[in-house]
Amino acid sequence: MNTSSPDQTTPPLRRRSLMKTAAWAAPTAVVFSAAPAFAASPESQKGLQGWVTVGRSGCYSNEQTITIDGRGEYPNRGLWIMETAPGLSLKDAKVERASITFYFPTTLGPLNWTNNSDKGWSNLVRNADGVPQINGYDSYTSTYSGSWTFNGDVLVADRQPRFTVRTSCTRFTSYAYRSVTVDGDFVAFRRGPISL
């Protein structure tokens, strides 16, 4: 199993009037003109990359909406696969499994997410088997079964994830874990925490 080390860098946050979001992204991408300061190492550029934001909005009647949103076009938004093994061309590669997991504190209680994703993204599964767990957090995993388009040197997901949930109004920290298996090569990494 080839697993890159967790990236514990906290990306910069962008504030808006009723919403606060954080983005996890590939080291070379830029979104909202702010990029995280990830080291551009070979390991950090492998696997399932791209931009997905996690945000919270509201605090009306002591409730907030948490949104996970990966919608957008490559290379500014969305998800794509970069090199998984040295010298492996992705042009004719077979993606065997791609998933993204989000971690939220157990103090929020079980979250019943609404799947607003494009077709191909499964509903978020709480504490799914085979997903690394973080003490004090529940994990929520979605697996992508949709198609991919080869774009130069990356495979771009043709569909993007988007999930929402209403919960009590409270600040929290979150992590993300991405994994992909391409032609038998497994690459996974964790990013975070981010504070919202």
Residues contacting residue 20 through CB under 8 Å, at least 6 positions apart: 13, 14, 55, 56, 57, 196
Domain membership flag for residue 7? no
How do 78-82 and 154-157 pair as beta strands?
A: antiparallel
Per-residue pLDDT of the chain (196 residues; tens, 9 = 90+): 333 333 333 344 333 434 456 655 433 222 222 222 222 334 457 899 999 999 998 887 889 999 999 999 998 889 999 987 777 789 989 999 999 999 999 999 999 999 999 899 999 999 999 999 999 999 999 999 999 999 988 999 999 999 999 999 999 999 999 999 999 999 999 999 999 9
CA 193 to chain centre: 12
- Per-residue pLDDT, 85: 76
Q: Domain limits at 111?
A: 13-195
Residue 187, pLDDT score: 93
pTM score, whole prediction: 0.79
Asked if residue 130 belongs to a domain, the reply is: yes
Residue 57 lies in a domain: yes
Q: Quick one: pLDDT at residue 32? A: 24
How confident is the model at residue 23, as a pLDDT? 58
Element (H, E) at 121: none
CB-count burial class (<10 Å; 0-12, 13-18, 19+) for 130: exposed
- The answer to the question of residue 43 being in a domain is yes
Retrieve residue 169's tokens.
């109004």
Q: Tell me, yes or no, whether 183 lies in a domain.
A: yes
Q: Does residue 40 lie within any of the structural domains?
A: yes
Residue 3 lies in a domain: no
Q: So what's the pLDDT on residue 86?
A: 78
Residue 1 lies in a domain: no
Per-residue model confidence (pLDDT) at position 28: 27
Domain count for the chain: 1
Query: Tell me, what's the pLDDT at 58?
Result: 81
